[in-house]
Structure 1
Amino acid sequence: MSDDEPSGRDEEYLPIAEHGLIGDLRTAALVGTDGRVDWFCAPRFDSPSVFGSLLDARRGGYWEIAPVCQVATRNQFYFPDTNILITRMLTADGIVEIQDFMPVLRDRDPHHRQRLVRRVVNVRGRMRLAARIAPRLNYGRDPHRLEPMPDGVRFVGASLTLWLRSSIALEVDGSDARAEFDLGGGESVLFDLEADTGAGTPDACAVNPAAAEQLFEATVAFWRRWLRQSTYTGRWREMVHRSALTLKLLTHEPSGAVVAAPTLGLPEQVGGARNWDYRYVWIRDAAFSLYALLRLGFTQEAQAFMDWLTGRLREATDGVEGPLRVVYSIDGHADLPEEVLEHWEGYRGSSPVRTGNGASGQRQLDIYGELIDSVYLFDKYGVGISHESWTDLCAVLDWLMEHWDSADESIWETRAGQQHHTYSRLMCWVAVERMIRMARRRGLPGDLGRWTTVRDRIYHQIMARGWDPRARTFVQRLSADPDRPPEDILDASLLLMPMVKFVSPADPRFRSTVDAIAGRLVADSLVFRYDPEQAPDGLDGTEGTFSICSFWWVEALARTGEVEQARLALEKMFTYANHVGLYAEQIGLTGEHLGNFPQAFTHLALISSAINLDRAMG
C-alpha cells in the first residue's frame, strides 16, 4: 500500500472532528459521537493506551455503548461551563444520552482515583442498548485476563489493572466484557472504569445512583469554580472559555506541565506518513500556553508551569544542541526515542504510527525567546521570579550569546537539515530583549552592555539578510551573503513580528509581508505555514493549513488596522471548529480536521487573537 492510499476501512473510523474530550488533569479520553471511547491512556497522557481503536479499529481496543436499533441522529455537547461530555442518540424507539466524565480531585492528591464514568440515561421512550468494553493494553501488545467481580469485572494486565463496576450485570466474552439492557423513560445505568493507581480497592457503593449523582455534581462544581477565575468579558466568550477549558484539560496537575495534545499518530494527510506523538511538553507550546492563561487571569496554572520550568532550568546543561531540550516528558525527561508500532495500521491506514518524538534531539533556537518572553510576562503580571530562576536564566542566556548565529530546525521541526531561519533569529532577539527589560525594570544584575550589543546585532542581521528587497517581504531563511538577497520563501511564523514587538504593525516592511502572505499562503481565512515545494522539509506527502497560523493571521490583521477583515477571518475560523468547539492541528482541503486533536497551540492562539481583536474593536 502506498502512502497516498487509505486502508479501505474508512467506515470503521469516525472523522477526527467527530470527538469530544474529557479528562481528569492526569490523562484524557476521546469519545466519539457514536458513543465509543476510542482513545484513552492510563494513568498519564503519555502512558500506553488502554483504548486505541482511533489508530487501529481492529486491534486498538474500545468501549462502546449504543442502542441496538438504528440511530437516526447523534448530537454531542458539553454540559455548560464544564468538561462533562453529553452524547445524545435519537432513534425510532426514543432518546438516550450518555454522560461521560472523569472526576477531578484537587491539591495534587497522591491517592487520586482515576475513573472514567459513563452514565446512560433514557430521556424518552423505551430502548434496548448494548455495551462492550474491550481494552487492549500497552498499545494492544499486552494480553490480559478478565476476572468476574461481584459488581463487575477486573482486567488484569502485566503492568496495569482496570476495575470495571456496573449497576447491571456484565457478561464475560473472551477477554472483553459485554452487556445488553433495556431502559425505560427516566431510567439509567452506570459504568465506572478505574485504573489501579495504588489508591486501594475501589469503593463498591460508587455505582449506586446517589453516588453517581454526587460525583456528577462535584465534577460540575469543580469546572465551574475554575472557570469563574477567567477575566475575559469580550465578544467571543463561549469560544474563548471553551479553549481555556481545553487548555486546562491538557494540564498535568501533579507536575504543572502542559502537553501539546492528548493523542499520537493522527495524520496530517490521510494515508500519509506525517504522524507524530504530541503527548509531551514542548517548551514553545507551553510557553505560549502560559501567556494565554495569564491573559485570562489563571495565575495558579501559570505558577504551576513556572515551577515545572524552573526544574528544567535547574537541570540545564551546556549540551551540543543547547542547555534546554525542545520537548520533554511530563516529568521532565528529554530522552523520547521514536518507536514505530508496526502492528497498528494507523488512522484510516495512515502509517507509521510512532510513539516518542525525534524532535527532542533537534536544535530549535526559537524556544529560548518563547521561554524567556513567557517568564517576562509571568514576572510582570504574576508573582515575580526568584533569584535562583534569574540566575538560571542568565546561564541560559550566556549560552545563547555564543550560539544565536547558528543553523537550526526552528519552529516547524523540519527534517531536511539545519538552516538559518529568520524566525529563530527573531526569537533570539526576543530572548535578549526581554532579559534586558527584566533587568532594568527590577534592577536585576546582568551584563547589559554585552546583551544590548548582541540584541542590536541580531536586529540588523534580520533586517539585512531576512528581508528580500525584490519581493518586499521578510522570508523564511537568511541569505548566506548580506550583499545578496535571500530566497523568496514565505513563512507564516513571521506574522508574529509585531506581536513580539520586533517591528511596529505599521512598519512598511511588515505590511508588505502581510500582503505577500495574503496572496501566497492564505486560502480564505486558512493559512499554510509555508510552501513545501519552495522549501522542502524532508518529509513525504502534503499537509493542511495550520490552525495556529490562521489565528496569527487574525491577530496580524487586527494589529495592522484591518479590523473588519480580522473579524471576518475570526468568525470564519470559528466555523472550522468541531461541534463542541475543538480544533485539530490542521484543516484539510474540504474542511476536515487533520493532525493531533485537540491541539493546545491552536486553542491558545484563538484566545490571543480574540483578546487582541476585542481590544482593536474597542
Structure 2
Amino acid sequence: MAGTVTQSSLELFPIGNCQVSALVDERAGFVWGCVPRVDGDPVFCSLLNGDKVDEGVWRFELEGQVSSSQHYERNTPILVTRLEAEDGSAVEITDFAPRYEGSGRMYRPVAFIRIVRPVAGAPRLRVRLAPLYGYGSAEATTTNGTNHIRYQLGDQTMRLSTDAPVGYVLEGRSYRVEADQHFFLGPDEPFVGNIRSEIRRMEANTRKYWQHWVRGLHIPLEWQEETIRAAITLKLCQHEETGAIVAALTTSIPEAAGSERNWDYRYCWIRDSYYTVQALNRLGALDVLEKYLAYLRNIIDKARGGQIQPLYSVMGEAELHESFAENLAGYRGMGPVRVGNAAYKQVQYDCYGQIVMPTAQAFFDTRLLRMADETDFAHLEEVGEAAWAKHDKPDAGLWEFRTRQEVHTYSAVMCWAACDRLANVAARLGKGDRVRYWKDRAEAIRAKIEENAWSEEGDHYGASFESDYLDASLLQMVELRYLAPDDERFLKTFAAVERDLRRGDHMLRYAAEDDFGAPETAFNVCTFWLIEALHLTGRSSEARDLFCAMLSHTTKSGLMSEDLDYETGELWGNFPQTYSLVGIINSVGLLSKPWSDVR
C-alpha cells in the first residue's frame, strides 16, 4: 500500500482553525491546503495535481503499510490517523491547526501541527513534505538548521520546527520511530520553548476550545454526532478575521466526471452564507452570526445603495477575476483548475433578501453583543430599496447561469422577503409609517409573483416569469414563509417538482439544459429541500427514510460535497460544501424526536 499511486477521492478529513485549513486523505496526506488563508496559494495541492501524488503533499509513509483508519477526537476537528504495517507495527498521527484563547485574543496562526506516536512494534517512517507554490508551478527551495527547515514559497516562507531528524526529513529517508515526534509548520520565526511541551499544550488548549464550543450548541436528540460534525465544519468555513463564510474549502472539483463544471468556491457567497448562519443560529452558534453580520455591514457600507454582488473574497474584495491554473491537471486529471470566479460580475437579485434576513435578527435578539440600531435600519432600507427596484428584473438566478437571464421566481420571492422582514424590523423600532411602506411593497411584489410565476397550464409555479420549467428552489417558498405548507399552490408545485426532478432518492436542481448541457448529478442541498418538504406536507416517515439514505452517502468524515451521482452514489463537486452540511442540520432539526421523549 505504501508508495502506491491511488486515485484522488473525496474521502477527506478537514482540519483548520478559521484562518487556514487542510484536507487529509486516508493515507495521512495533506492533499489540499492554502496559505495564508482559504483563498490563498495551495501549497498542498496534490488533490488537483493529477497523478503527481508526491508533489504538493505532506505525507507520513509507513514501511510495509497495509491499512489505515481515521477518526476525529470527540467534538473537535482534531484528526487521528492510524497506519498499520504488515509486521504489526503502527503509528498514530494527530493533526490539527491550533485555535484557542490567550492573552485576550484568539490564537489561530497560519500553522499546522502534526504529532506522530509509535503505538505498536518498531515502525519505520518516511516524511514526505513537498509543498509547491504558484498553483503548482514551482517547488519550494529549502534551507535548514539543527531543528528546523525553511521552505521558500515564492514571496512567503514557512518554517518547519520539529524534534524529528531534520536530515531524514530533507532527504526523504525512512527511519525508525522510537518516541513521539512533533511537527509545527508555520510562520518563518523561531519556535519558542520546548517543542514537545508547547505542542502538547497547544493540543490540549485546542481540544478544550472546540469541546467547549460544541457544549454551547443546542442540538436535537437524534443524529447528534452528524449534527455536531456538520456544525464544526461550517465554523471552519468562516474566516475569523472578517467573518466571511466560504462556500467550500476547495476549487475545481467537477460537478460530474469530465463536465468542466469546475468552479472556485473559496469565496463568500451572500446566498450560501445566509443558509449557513441560519442553520448554525438554529443550534445557538451566535458567534458565527455575529462575525458574519460585521462582514455584511462592511459590504453594505461599500455598496451605499448600489449593486450587491453575489460573492466577494473573504476580505471583501469585489473583483475575483477568473483564470486557469495551467500547472495543475485537475481532480483525477479533469481540468481546468479555476482560480477566481466570474460570477462576481453577475446580477443575482436574491442576495438582497439574504442580506436583510440574517441582519433582521440583530434588531430582536438581545443575546447579541452588538444589537442593530436605527442607523443600521437606515442602511438596511437601502438594501430593501434595491430589492424593490430589482424584484421583476432579469438576473442570472441562484444557479448562476452564465449565458442567459430571466426573472427568476426564487429571486423575486427573496426580494419579497427583504421587504416583508423590513416591515417586521420597522414594527420593532416603532416606525409605523415604515411598517406600512414595506408591507405595501411586499404585497406589490407578491401580486407580481402570483401574476407572472403561476402557470395555469402547468398548474404550478415556474422557475421564472418567462417560462414554466421547474427548479428545486421553488420548494423554499415555505421556508421563506411566502407560502404555508398546506397551501394548495405549494402542494401542486411540490408534486410537479417531485415528478420532474426527483431521481430515486435524490433531487436535481433543474432538468433543463444549461450553459454546459443537461445536469448529470443530483444537487445535494436540493435533496435536503425535498426531505424538508416531505416532512412539512405530512410525509414524515418517508422523509426520515430519505434522510437516512442521504447520510449513507457521507464520507467517513461525516461530510458531503456539493453533488452526487444518483446512479452510482459517488460524491462530486467542491468539498466540504456548506450547502450540504446546512441540509443535514436543518433536516435533523425537523425530523429528530424531541428531548422530552427521554425526560
Q: Give yes or no for TM over 0.5.
A: yes
2:190 corresponding residue in structure 1 = 201
Mapping of 1:315-326 within 5 angstroms? 315-319=302-306, 322=307, 324-326=308-310
Whether the 8 Å contact between 2:220 and 2:595 is mirrored in structure 1 is no
1:6 corresponding residue in structure 2 = none
**Paired residue type of 2:165:** A
2:538 corresponding residue in structure 1 = 561
- Among 117, 121, 143, the residue aligned to 1:121: 117
Question: What are structure 1's unaligned runs of at least 5 residues?
Answer: 1-9, 480-485
CA deviation string 1:105-137 (max 9, x = no partner): 437958753221111222222221211100101
Aligned-partner SS, 1:252: coil
2:211 maps to 1:224:
yes
CA distance in 1, matches of 2:453, 2:158: 55
Given the superposition, is the C-alpha separation of residues 232 and 596 from structure 1 closer, same or farther in structure 2, using an over 3 Å criterion?
same
**Residue 97 of structure 1: how far off its partner (Å):** 1.8
CA deviation string 1:54-112 (max 9, x = no partner): 111428511111211131x3211111110001112233222322111111143795875
**Residue 254 of structure 1: how far off its partner (Å):** 1.6
CA distance in 2, matches of 1:562, 1:442: 40
**Paired residue type of 1:226:** W
CA deviation string 1:458-506 (max 9, x = no partner): 2122222212223322221113xxxxxx43x111111111111111100
**Paired residue type of 1:454:** R
- Among 535, 549, 552, the residue aligned to 2:526: 549
The range that moved more, 252-261 or 378-387, is 378-387
1:511 corresponding residue in structure 2 = 491
**Paired residue type of 2:485:** P
CA distance in 1, matches of 2:438, 2:198: 60
TM-score, normalization: structure 1?
0.90
2:274 corresponding residue in structure 1 = 287
CA distance in 2, matches of 1:386, 1:105: 31
CA distance in 2, matches of 1:369, 1:167: 53
**Residue 593 of structure 1: how far off its partner (Å):** 1.4
CA distance in 2, matches of 1:439, 1:615: 36
Aligned-partner SS, 1:64: strand
- Among 461, 469, 481, the residue aligned to 2:448: 461
Whether the 8 Å contact between 1:51 and 1:136 is mirrored in structure 2 is yes
Aligned-partner SS, 2:92: strand
Whether the 8 Å contact between 1:101 and 1:118 is mirrored in structure 2 is yes
Given the superposition, is the C-alpha separation of residues 253 and 350 from structure 1 closer, same or farther in structure 2, using an over 3 Å criterion?
same
2:75 maps to 1:81:
yes
Mapping of 1:351-430 within 5 angstroms? 351-381=335-365, 382-383=367-368, 384-430=371-417
CA distance in 2, matches of 1:617, 1:554: 21
**Paired residue type of 2:529:** W
Whether the 8 Å contact between 1:563 and 1:616 is mirrored in structure 2 is no
CA deviation string 1:273-332 (max 9, x = no partner): 11111111111111121211211111122111111111111111454xx2x111011111
The range that moved more, 500-509 or 151-160, is 151-160
RMSD: 2.2
Whether the 8 Å contact between 2:146 and 2:166 is mirrored in structure 1 is no
2:334 maps to 1:341:
no
Aligned-partner SS, 2:101: coil
1:181 corresponding residue in structure 2 = 175
Mapping of 1:69-148 within 5 angstroms? 69-71=64-66, 73-94=67-88, 95-106=90-101, 109=105, 112-148=108-144
2:182 corresponding residue in structure 1 = 190
Given the superposition, is the C-alpha separation of residues 462 and 113 from structure 1 closer, same or farther in structure 2, using an over 3 Å criterion?
closer
Aligned-partner SS, 2:441: helix
Mapping of 1:185-334 within 5 angstroms? 187-196=179-188, 200-203=189-192, 205-206=194-195, 208=196, 210-319=197-306, 322=307, 324-334=308-318
Aligned-partner SS, 2:84: strand
2:146 maps to 1:150:
yes
CA distance in 1, matches of 2:168, 2:71: 32
Aligned length: 585
**Residue 143 of structure 1: how far off its partner (Å):** 4.8
CA deviation string 1:158-197 (max 9, x = no partner): 3111111222213378xx652422135xx3222221134x
**Paired residue type of 1:289:** T
CA distance in 1, matches of 2:407, 2:206: 49
Given the superposition, is the C-alpha separation of residues 49 and 268 from structure 1 closer, same or farther in structure 2, using an over 3 Å criterion?
same
Whether the 8 Å contact between 1:103 and 1:219 is mirrored in structure 2 is yes
1:593 corresponding residue in structure 2 = 571
CA deviation string 1:130-156 (max 9, x = no partner): 111001012123453210211031112
Whether the 8 Å contact between 1:152 and 1:169 is mirrored in structure 2 is no
Percent identical across equivalent pairs? 31
Whether the 8 Å contact between 2:134 and 2:154 is mirrored in structure 1 is no
TM-score, normalization: structure 2?
0.93
2:49 corresponding residue in structure 1 = 56
Question: What are structure 2's unaligned runs of at least 5 residues?
Answer: none
Given the superposition, is the C-alpha separation of residues 112 and 451 from structure 1 closer, same or farther in structure 2, using an over 3 Å criterion?
closer
**Paired residue type of 1:150:** T
CA distance in 2, matches of 1:238, 1:596: 23
2:583 corresponding residue in structure 1 = 605
